[in-house]
Amino acid sequence: MTSLLMCLCCVLLELMAVHSRVLMQSRIVGGHTAAPNSIRYLVSLKSTSGQHFCGGSLVHRYWVLTAAHCNIGAEQMMIVAGDYKVNIFEGTEQYAKPRILVIHPLYNRSTNNADIMLIKLRAPMVLNKYVSLAPLPRQGTGVAEGHVCRVSGWGYNSLEGGQVPVTLRTVTVPIVSTARCNSSDSFNGNITANMICAGYSTGGKDACKGDSGGPLVCDRRIYGVVSWGNGCGDAKFPGVYTAVSRFRRWIDQTIYGSYLRCFKPWR
């Protein structure tokens, strides 16, 4: 009987540990609640059933910047701006359906390279005290190692993959050098020139599942898009972001160039 009780206790403890690990991998890790309407360019990508699944940034009244891996098809998503508590109507929200999704032609699902996408909206968002445009960096500019940036998002917070009403959260993380991020102790060469890493050597602070597509902001400009990682808040594995400055020309060409006239992929 004693052995049985001990076995049951071990199983219970293991289940609790698994439960804890999953929860840690389901929201901004180690952060805090953002002030209401303080990140006005952040948008929520929701399924047609109303479930938040990715973040994004409004870079033009008609265009949203997000991650390519957030693509679930234009007919399956809704873009919500002016949100603070997802799944709770606050009267500040604006809703728009996507017209087209523009995935970067170099996007590779296997390597996560060029994990960036632009969404053209069917109707423009109205800029006001709840909704604004995100400032972007110039082409090719970088951020120095150790520079502290901010990542924000909603993220899932239930084991079933659903979501209870949750308030926007944010956390600051320092930029990690590509050399360190690519070391054999970390991502072992899988970080491309189109990616940047950010996180503490002690771990504990990171973006996570449900934050994908959201902004990494340095010096008030969006230098990164939440892309991928190995777990969340792991000391050995910083968060990996798409380097927005590598794609500024593509962003401008897509929004303002010939794409609008002929709807052909940018080259």
- Which residues are identified as catalytic? 69, 115, 212
Average pLDDT, the chain: 84
- Tokens 């069917």 — which residue? 122
Q: In Å, how far are 68, 208, 258, 260, 263 from 254, measured between CA atoms?
A: 15, 28, 7, 7, 9
Got the DSSP string for 89-157? --S--EEE-EEEEEE-TT--TTT-TT--EEEEESSPPPPSSS--PPP-PPTT----TT-EEEEEE----
Single pTM value for the model = 0.83
How big is the CA angle at 47 (ends 125 and 116), to the nearest 5 degrees?
70
pLDDT tens profile 30-48:
777 889 989 999 999 999 9
Q: Which of 62-66, 76-80, 232-236 has the lowest mean pLDDT?
A: 232-236
